[in-house]
Homo-oligomer: A and B are copies of this chain.
Amino acid sequence: MITALKFTLLLLALAFAQGLHYNYIDELDKEAGTVRAVQASQYVSLWPLPQKVKILDLSFKLTSFNIVDAKESSAGSSCSLLQDAYRRYYEYMFGIAKRQGPRKSRLTGPSELTELQVWITSPDSECDGYPSVTSDESYELSVDLPYAVLKAPKVWGALHGLETFSQLVYEDQYGAKSINSTAISDFPRFAHRGILLDSSRHFLPLKVILANLETMAMNKFNVFHWHIVDDQSFPYLSRTFPQLSQQGAYHPYTHVYTPADVKMVIEFGRLRGIRVVPEFDTPGHTQSWGKGQKDLLTPCYSGSKPSGSFGPVNPILNTTYDFMSQFFKEISTVFPDAYVHLGGDEVDFTCWKSNPDIQKFMDQQGYGQDYKKLESFYIQKLLDIVTTTHKGYMIWQEVFDNGVKLKPDTVVHVWIGGGANEEMGKVTAAGYTTILSAPWYLDYISYAQDWQKYYKVEPLDFDGTEEQKKLVIGGEACLWGEYVDATNLTPRLWPRASAVAERLWSAKDVTDINDAFNRLSVHRCRMVARGIPAEPLFSSYCPREYKGI
């Protein structure tokens, strides 16, 4: 319901002049000898930028404001996902303290906006469902009198629209809130917009994971790729194989994710439109698995004797596949998402080569010395197992590179830096869906504004047909955990990952780096005001600085 007011689009200079929204000081201009302040964006603080935005120079005061279900909405007060979201965004916009005491009814003035009506237009709101790669995330937002209206086919779009609405609200220096007459029509450019966190190199307390899911929602990310286990530790508490975490976690009680923890992560994500895709990476990256599951890993040999150390998963034993069948059966029930990430990266052949039983098997199979064939043998059997659980799978690019036969709906995850464009071309030419992470390894840090580098990436910038380009469903920012734990994860991830968020959500031609800097500066202060320690882009201040240390 976009109103057709004929106001021209205007810089919201007044709102900024009060100095409450952003305050960036640019590098000392040596030539002029002055300090330059950054300009206000015509899109204010919207991040990621919606597909279509029209902001008018007509402002409304927000007084006695409320978010309510539209009468026509297919999701009413019984939709706790939406009711939770209303509370959450009300608190973001007005703070906890403001809602105390009974609401007084009073007359409102001509320029006061008192209501945002949320209208789910599709008969099935999907309120109690899980988001998926095919979810409709679109929404339309009209801010006008007598009330603002947020229309979305499904709850997923409504969640995004609420975030957008909250980003349109600004305050004067005494805290009074206003919003301008606005019309927005929005949908994501890519369906898969993910963040990878790694809870194996360092255990991430639940609180940290939830805070980052919260921040993902503020950036319209919709996939939490949970790299939950790896060589270093196995914090996933399996009901079927409790010894895996009992022996393989850093600590069996304080450094594990219980079934209740996992449930909470999934539900917390769902309420924010975020899928939780767990990764159980095999056959490499599995040292921690070996501690609690006898004979799962390949014994390495030193000469003719076992050396006492172990290599990748042992691909020649039936017990391995029995284990994997049971294990992934559990995973398929614990994690509701339609996909599971099966890893398959960086398999080291040294140990396999040293083991005489493996050598014998290689001979029997006629693999010669081609250990990639052995790797493919394992992965093929694993994929067949996972297929029986009715899950789709994602895999790192090596599995594709090695010629493993994949289901048509497999998602190939491109991560190797250098040649990523060629790889995207190859994967899509073979007809597979793909996501990109190679340019977005956020664990690699460097001095100054590296967010710009992430921002400038164009995922479809590879040689290929239009059909191929359509197979690119998105990407993920990866924050591997070797140097990251609860102490530094959140400021290291945000707002650097926000750059990836806009690249994956907004239109292809949204590439103005200066405008991005202006909007992202305000967006980062908004995250800080919401309690998230998102680090600064450059010399600046936020009206409300971070309260922690």
Interface check A207, CB cutoff 8 A: yes
Interface check A202, CB cutoff 8 A: yes
Interface check A201, CB cutoff 8 A: yes
Q: Which residues in B have their C-beta under 8 angstroms from that of A488?
A: 488, 491-492, 533, 535-536
In the complex, the answer to whether B487 meets A33 with C-beta atoms within 8 Å is: no
A24-32, A217-225, A387-395, A424-432: which lies at the B interface? A24-32
Contact flags A453-485 to B (C-beta < 8 A → 1, else 0): 000000000000000000000000000011111
Residue of B nearest to A198 (CB): B539
Contacts A33-B309, A33-B350, A300-B33 given; does A254 touch B543 at CB 8 Å: yes
A34, A539, A547, most chain B CB atoms within 10 A: A539
A350 CA to B543 CA, complexed, in Å: 34
In the complex, the answer to whether A232 meets B30 with C-beta atoms within 8 Å is: no
Interface check A403, CB cutoff 8 A: no
Interface check A437, CB cutoff 8 A: no
The secondary structure that dominates the A interface is: loop
In the complex, the answer to whether B310 meets A233 with C-beta atoms within 8 Å is: no
A66-74, A140-148, A321-329, A442-450: which lies at the B interface? A442-450
**Copies assembled:** 2
In the complex, the answer to whether B250 meets A23 with C-beta atoms within 8 Å is: yes
Interface check A397, CB cutoff 8 A: no
Residue of B nearest to A235 (CB): B541
Q: Which residues in B have their C-beta under 8 angstroms from that of A241?
A: none
Interface size on A, residues (CB 8 A): 71
Contacts A300-B33, A309-B33, A549-B490 given; does A231 touch B533 at CB 8 Å: no
A294 CA to B481 CA, complexed, in Å: 52
Interface check A540, CB cutoff 8 A: yes
Q: Which residues in B have their C-beta under 8 angstroms from that of A28?
A: 231, 287
Interface check A35, CB cutoff 8 A: yes
Interface check A422, CB cutoff 8 A: no
A363 CA to B440 CA, complexed, in Å: 57
Interface check A40, CB cutoff 8 A: no
Nearest CB in chain B: distance from A16 CB, A: 15
Q: Which residues in B have their C-beta under 8 angstroms from that of A445?
A: 445-447
In the complex, the answer to whether B202 meets A30 with C-beta atoms within 8 Å is: no
CB contact between A491 and one of B30, B448, B487 (< 8 Å): that residue: B487
In the complex, the answer to whether B202 meets A539 with C-beta atoms within 8 Å is: yes
In the complex, the answer to whether A483 meets B255 with C-beta atoms within 8 Å is: no
Q: Which residues in B have their C-beta under 8 angstroms from that of A288?
A: 35
Contact flags A345-359 to B (C-beta < 8 A → 1, else 0): 000101100000000
Interface check A520, CB cutoff 8 A: no
Q: 8 Å CB contacts to B: which residues of A526-549?
A: 528, 532-543, 545-549
A355 CA to B445 CA, complexed, in Å: 43
Q: Which residues in B have their C-beta under 8 angstroms from that of A208?
A: 549
Contact flags A21-58 to B (C-beta < 8 A → 1, else 0): 00101001011111100000000000000000000000
CB contact between A33 and one of B211, B310, B532, B546 (< 8 Å): that residue: B310
Q: Which residues in B have their C-beta under 8 angstroms from that of A31?
A: 350
CB contact between A32 and one of B34, B211, B300 (< 8 Å): that residue: B300
Residue of B nearest to A200 (CB): B539
Residue of B nearest to A27 (CB): B482
In the complex, the answer to whether B33 meets A233 with C-beta atoms within 8 Å is: no
In the complex, the answer to whether A202 meets B446 with C-beta atoms within 8 Å is: no
Q: Which residues in B have their C-beta under 8 angstroms from that of A300?
A: 32-33
Interface check A205, CB cutoff 8 A: yes
Contacts A533-B486, A533-B487, A546-B487 given; does A309 touch B444 at CB 8 Å: no
In the complex, the answer to whether A539 meets B446 with C-beta atoms within 8 Å is: no
In the complex, the answer to whether A250 meets B487 with C-beta atoms within 8 Å is: no
Interface check A307, CB cutoff 8 A: yes
Q: 8 Å CB contacts to B: which residues of A184-204?
A: 201-203
Contacts A348-B30, A445-B445 given; does A201 touch B485 at CB 8 Å: no
A25 CA to B255 CA, complexed, in Å: 15
Q: Which residues in B have their C-beta under 8 angstroms from that of A310?
A: 33-34
Q: Which residues in B have their C-beta under 8 angstroms from that of A545?
A: 203, 205, 254-255, 485-486
Contact flags A288-319 to B (C-beta < 8 A → 1, else 0): 10000000000010000001011100000000
Q: Which residues in B have their C-beta under 8 angstroms from that of A263?
A: none
Contacts A485-B536, A491-B488, A548-B486 given; does A444 touch B447 at CB 8 Å: yes
Residue of B nearest to A446 (CB): B446
Known: A202-B540, A443-B447; 4 extra A-B contacts, CB below 8 A, are: A25-B233, A202-B536, A448-B483, A486-B546
- Please list the 7 inter-chain residue pairs (A to B) with the smallest Cβ-Cβ separation, ordered nearest first: A487-B533, A488-B491, A34-B309, A250-B541, A201-B539, A486-B546, A488-B535
